Structure 1
Amino acid sequence: MTNLQNCLDSCSIYVGTYSKYNNGSLYGKWLNLSEYSDYDELLTAMYELHSDESEPEFMFQDYENCSFFEKLGLIGESYISNNIFEIADQINGSGHDLEIFEAYLSCVGKMDFQSVYDGVMNYYMGQYLDDETFAQYILEESIAESLPNYIYIDWEATARNLMYDYFDSNGHYFRN
Structure 2
Amino acid sequence: MANLTNCPDTMCIYVGTYKKYNEGSLFGKWLNLADYSSYDELIKVMKKLHNDEDDPEFMLQDYENCSFFEKLGLIGESYISDETFEIVHQINDSGHDLEVFEAYVDCVGKMDFQSIYEGVVDYYMGEYSDNEAFAQYLLEMDIPESLPNYIYIDWETTARNLMFDYFESNGHYFKS
Task: Assess same fold via TM > 0.5.
Answer: yes
Q: Which residue of 1 aligns with 2:89?
A: 89
Query: How far is 1:170 from its partner?
Result: 0.8
Note closer, same or farther for the CA distance 1:122–1:6 as it changes in structure 2 (3 Å cut): closer
Does structure 2 retain, via aligned residues, the 8 Å contact 1:168–1:174?
yes
The superposition leaves residues 87-143 of structure 1 with CA deviations (integer Å, 9 ceiling, x where unpaired) of 000001111111111111111111111111111111110111111111111111333
Partner SS for 2:60: strand
Measure the CA separation in 2 of the matches of 1:59 and 1:141. 54
Q: CA offset at residue 12 of structure 1? A: 0.4
Moved more, 92-101 or 141-150: 141-150
How far the C-alpha of 1:5 sits from its partner, in A, is 2.4
1:6 Cα deviation from its structure 2 partner? 4.5
How far apart in 2 are the matches of 1:63 and 1:167?
30
Any gaps of 5 or more consecutive residues in structure 1?
none
| Offset from partner CA, 1:12-35 (integer Å, 9 cap, x none) | 000011111111111110000000
The secondary structure found in structure 2 opposite 1:114 is helix
User: Residue 8 of structure 1 contacts residue 88 of structure 1 at CA under 8 Å; is this kept in 2?
Assistant: no
Matched, 1:153 2:153: yes
Cα contact 1:6–1:34 (8 A) shared by 2: no
Does residue 1:35 correspond to 2:35, yes or no? yes
TM superposition shift of 1:149: 3.0
Partner of 1:162: 162
Post-superposition Cα deviations, 1:30-85, rounded to whole Å, max 9, x if no partner, equal 00000000001001000000001110111101101100110011100001000100
Matched, 1:101 2:101: yes
The one-letter amino acid paired with 1:12 is: C
Write the letter of the residue equivalent to 1:43. Answer: I
% identity of equivalent residues: 73
Please say which of residues 144-153 and 133-142 is displaced more in the overlay.
144-153
Partner of 2:133: 133
Aligned length: 173
Structure 2 counterpart SS, 1:135:
helix
Determine the structure 2 residue equivalent to 1:123: 123
Deviates more, 1:148-157 or 1:19-28: 148-157
Deviates more, 1:119-128 or 1:6-15: 6-15
Q: Distance in 1 between matches of 2:150 and 2:122?
A: 36
| 1:147 Cα offset (Å) | 3.0
- In the alignment, residue 147 of structure 2 is paired with which amino acid? L
TM-score scaled by structure 1? 0.94
Native 8 Å contact 2:14 2:63 kept in 1: yes
Match of 1:20 in 2: 20
2: CA distance, partners of 1:126 / 1:8: 19
